[in-house]
Amino acid sequence: MQFVPALETSAVTLTHPESQYVTVDKPGIFFSGKIHKYEHVYINGIRMYPERNGAFSYSISLKSGENIVAVQSKELFGKTHTITYHITFQKAVKRPNQNVFLQSEKAYYQTTKDDVVMRSTPVDAGMNRLGYLPNNTKLVVDGTFNEFSRVYLSEDNYGWVFTKNIKIVPKETKPETAKAENKTNIKPVKQTETVTKKEVKTAEPEKENVEEKAEPTFEYKPVTVTDTNTFKTVHDETFVIQLSDNAPYSAIVDNNKLVVTVYNVDSKSETYKKTFNLGKFPRYSVCMKDGVLYVIQKKVPFTKQTYSNRKVLIVIDPGHGGQERGAVGCFGDIEKNLNLKVALELRKYLEKANFRVRMTRETDKFMTLNDRVKFGQDNDALFFISIHLNSVPISSNPNLNEGTVVFYFNPQGEELAKTLAQSISTALKVKNEGASQASFAVIRPTEYIGVLAELAYLVNPKDVRVYRSMHFARTSARAIYNGLVKYINEVLK
Ligand SMILES: [Zn+2]
């Protein structure tokens, strides 16, 4: 797939912005592209000075409304071209967040889908994930904050879930009532009752209202822990907590210990807590299903004595693909292609050293983030390495962002991220931006050690030279390989 620049003359190729008519929601925009040798290019009258290879990025600030930006190119012995960009700066119209907690009476709600994220704060981002609740988990809700509902966990302890992912539990379907009805076999009677009630409702609506008010207020029904068990296999150790029903829980890593807490439990503290030692190479998963909480700790498939590269499975994940092209560079280079090139080189290095390797994609195909995660989990990866090149939002200044940064989410990924950032930036001779924690889907799982490497910036004129060099893919791949081997030698063995 070729990238078509918005402007291409013999003097200049402009790759950003991608169209002459752009609307942005922040007061800035950058122009980037390539200026051909000996040509002069001006943006709003200011001369652009590119890097030696011709790459340039230039950031301008915008006033509210429409901004006219003239890009002028003067060929050495030729004509002058002028092209006009119409950049409209319009603040995003967000639905006003009230940012107040609206308390309501406690009521039972239940989740309406699997994997509802429960968070420690009412913010849809960052490191605040407590646990993933299955469908039909009952939650005591006592208020809302913006688009979140507050979940009562234990005294002075709350979680937050999206209001859109829960619904109120109707009184009739309370498990106790249902059981009682089943036992006494009064189902047909109930049906007749409903009909009668309806008739009453149409006839005497006021009386019905009075009846509703007289209904008993919220009745808290905590779950019970009925059993706990440990199951061991050669590959893993599973701790099972059996409950009378699904319940809210959290799984938090603290000082290399995994603390799993089940809430709304009928004990004095209203919680059931269990701490697991994670060891130096933690791989685990925590999930709840049908009233059972599973804590699975995977064993490292070797000891210091039995280690061989053959026992290490690495999933390489070339970012983007297919219709999702990723970012675009100053010269129109497309991120997904560069990612794949590096990934294929990396596979060669790893396989040559006898590591086992799987790739989420080997061709230019689209893959969802969930599929990538599942691929890593299904293949029982020890490491998951996602390969990307970086970009900046159109309103930022590309000249201020350069070099390598490697992201991790779980604490166990930090050391590898640091080692890789060091190794890659040294090999590519770019700035080392180090390791950084970020909540990206592919590095969130705890079953593998996941990192996402942003090798260099596509729109930084200095970095352009790096990723356009002939040996970029091989140099990056070797650097990742060396970093990984260093990490394995220092941490794993
Ligand atoms: Zn990317």
Q: Residues 112-169: pLDDT tens digits?
A: 999 999 999 999 988 899 999 999 999 999 999 999 999 999 999 999 999 999 999 9
SS3 for 461-476 is HHHHHHHCCCCHHHHH
Q: Does position 178 have pLDDT exceeding 50, yes or no?
A: no
Is there a single domain that holds both residue 176 and residue 240? no
Q: Are residues 443 and 335 in the same domain?
A: yes
**Which of 164, 188, 214 delimits the end of a domain?**
214
Strand bridging mode 404-408 / 432-437:
parallel
In a domain, 160, yes or no: no
Quote the number of domains for the chain.
Answer: 4
pLDDT bin (cut points 50, 70, 90) of residue 399 is very high
How confident is residue 491, by pLDDT bands cut at 50, 70 and 90?
confident
User: How much distance in Å is there from the Cα of 360 to the middle of ligand 1?
Assistant: 14
Q: What is the pLDDT of residue 54?
A: 93
What tokens does 130 get? 């407590």
Query: Torsion-angle region of residue 382: left (phi > 0), alpha (psi -120 to 50) or beta?
Result: alpha
Task: Check whether residue 246 and residue 340 sit in a common domain.
Answer: no
Torsion angles phi and psi, residue 484, rounded to 5: -65, -45
For residues 175 and 182, the answer to whether their CB atoms sit within 8 Å is: no
How far, in Å, from the CA of 327 to the mean position of ligand 1? 6
The pLDDT score that the predictor gives to residue 480 is 98
Provide the token pair at 150. 């507050």
Residue 391 CA to ligand 1 center (angstroms) comes to 8
Query: Do the domain assignments include residue 123?
Result: no
Give whole-number Cα distances, 416 to 53, 264, 275, 384, in Å: 33, 38, 25, 11
Q: Does 432 share its domain with 372?
A: yes
Measure 323 CA to ligand 1 centroid, in angstroms. Answer: 13
Q: Considering 56, 89, 122, which residue would you say is the last residue of a domain?
A: 89
The CA distance from 394 to 15, in Å, is: 12
**Over 80: is that where the pLDDT of 11 sits?**
no
The pLDDT of residue 181 is: 42
Establish if 132 belongs to a structural domain.
no
CA gap 262, 274 in Å, rounded: 9
Q: How far is it, in rounded angstroms, from Cα 77 to Cα 38?
A: 10
User: What local confidence, expressed as pLDDT, does residue 214 receive?
Assistant: 54
Q: Per the structure block, which two tokens stand in for 57?
A: 């990025």
* Strand ordering across the sheet containing 157-162: 129-133, 116-119, 157-162, 148-154, 138-145, 101-111, 166-168
Cα–Cα dist 169/167, whole Å: 6
Q: Give 420 or 180, the one with higher predicted confidence.
A: 420
- Centre a 10 Å sphere on the Cβ of residue 237 and count the other Cβ atoms it contains: 15
The full DSSP string for 97-112 is: P---EEEEEEEEEEES
Whether 202 and 332 map to the same domain: the answer is no
Q: What is the pLDDT of residue 172?
A: 59
Per the DSSP assignment, residues forming a β-bridge with 145 are: 101, 148
Q: Is residue 141 part of a domain?
A: no
Asked if residue 326 has pLDDT above 80, the reply is yes
Side-chain-side CA neighbours of 295 within 13 Å: the count stands at 26
Query: What residues form DSSP beta bridges with 437?
Result: 408
452 and 364 within one domain: yes
Residue 262 maps to a domain: yes
pLDDT (mean) for 294-309: 92
- The amino acid sitting at 33 is G
pLDDT at 215: 58
Cβ–Cβ < 8 Å for 284, 293: no
Distance (angstroms) between ligand 1 centre and the Cα of 336 equals 7
| pLDDT on residue 10 | 67
Distance 242 CA to ligand 1 centre (A): 41
352 domain-assigned: yes
The alpha carbon of residue 213 and the mean position of all alpha carbons in its chain are separated, in whole angstroms, by 45
326 CA distance to ligand 1 centroid (A)?
5
Kindly report the CATH number assigned to the domain that includes residue 65. Answer: 2.60.40.10
Say if residue 267 is in the same domain as residue 325.
no
Residue 63 lies in a domain: yes
**Counting Cβ atoms within 10 Å, is residue 236 exposed (0-12), middle (13-18) or buried (19+)?**
middle
Between the CA of 290 and the centroid of ligand 1 the distance, in Å, is 37
Q: What SS3 class is residue 172? A: helix
Distance 355 CA to ligand 1 centre (A): 25
Whether 90 contacts 23, CB under 8 Å: yes
Residue written as tokens 């009682």?
A: 180
In which element (H, E) is residue 231 found? strand 225-232
Distance 328 CA to ligand 1 centre (A): 10
For residue 86, pLDDT beyond 90: yes
* Omega prior to 205 cis, within 30 of 0: no
Q: Which protein residues have a CB closer than 5 Å to ligand 1 (ion)?
A: 319, 326, 388
Q: How far is CA 105 from CA 135, 202, 212, 218, in A?
A: 23, 28, 15, 8
The set of residues, in sequence order, having a beta carbon less than 8 Å from that of 235 and lying 6+ positions away, is: 298, 299, 301
Residue 478 scores a pLDDT above 60:
yes
| Structure letter (DSSP) for residue 334 | B
Q: What is the CATH number of the domain that holds 262?
A: 2.60.40.790
Same domain, yes or no: 454 and 326:
yes
286 and 333 share one domain:
no
Alpha carbon of 33 to ligand 1 centroid (Å): 19
Would the pLDDT of 93 be above 90?
no
pLDDT in tens, 193-241: 443 333 444 444 444 454 455 556 788 999 999 999 999 999 999 999 9
Position 492 confidence tier, pLDDT thresholds 50, 70, 90: confident
Q: What is the pLDDT of residues 351-378, one digit of tens each?
A: 999 999 999 999 999 999 999 999 999 9
**Within a domain: residue 135?**
no
Instruction: List the domain range (segments joined by +) for residue 435.
Output: 309-492
Same domain, yes or no: 384 and 457:
yes
Residue 269 shares a structural domain with residue 198: no
CA angle (417, 408, 489) in 5-degree steps:
35
Pair (418, 460) in one structural domain: yes
Q: Which of 89, 104, 134 is the last residue of a domain?
A: 89
**Spatial distance between the Cα atoms of 160 and 147, rounded to a whole number of angstroms:** 10
